[in-house]
């Protein structure tokens, strides 16, 4: 899994990535120095919980991804089987294009997690 995350960081626009369990615990990461892995994972756990509740409340089925952007960059959160892949995105990146580029990596992670 670590190798897959390291490969993802070579994609233009990816500022780092983290694989987090459904409990909000970090499983593997390729984050930039200075990023608190535990704090990032805990925040993502809360985001996952909120996304699941919203999808359930409005009958949207199981959620597959969430993306968000701010002045200083963005975040992609993608369901990968029993875990979630979070990708920190540089501010100049195109979120939609990056989501397409990351999809094969997320699929590889999901497959590795279900073996």
Residue-wise pLDDT for 9-44, tens only, equals 999 999 999 999 878 889 999 998 788 888 888 888
Which tops the pLDDT comparison, 69 or 89?
Answer: 89
Per-residue confidence (pLDDT) for residue 102, from 0 to 100: 95
State the pLDDT at residue 3. Answer: 93
The Cα 70–Cα 55 span in angstroms is 23
CATH of 2-113, one of 3.90.850.10, 3.10.20.810, 3.30.450.30, 3.40.50.300: 3.30.450.30
- Reported confidence tier of residue 101, pLDDT bands at 50, 70, 90: very high
Closest CA to 19 of 46, 42, 39, 1: 1
pLDDT value at position 115? Answer: 72
When pLDDT is cut at 50, 70 and 90, the band that residue 98 belongs to is very high
Identify which of 76, 75, 85 has the alpha carbon closest to the alpha carbon of residue 111: 85
């Amino acid at each position: 899994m670590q190798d897959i995350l390291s490969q993802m960081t070579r994609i233009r626009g990816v500022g780092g990535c983290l694989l987090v369990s459904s409990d909000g615990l970090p499983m593997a990461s390729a984050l930039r120095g200075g990023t608190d892995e535990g704090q990032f994972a805990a925040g993502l756990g809360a985001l996952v919980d909120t996304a699941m509740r919203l999808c359930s409340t409005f009958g949207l089925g199981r959620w597959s991804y969430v993306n968000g952007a701010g002045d200083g960059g963005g975040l992609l959160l993608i369901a990968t089987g029993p875990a979630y892949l979070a990708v920190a995105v540089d501010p100049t990146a195109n979120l939609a294009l990056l989501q397409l580029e990351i999809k094969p990596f997320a699929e590889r992670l999901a497959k590795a997690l279900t073996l």
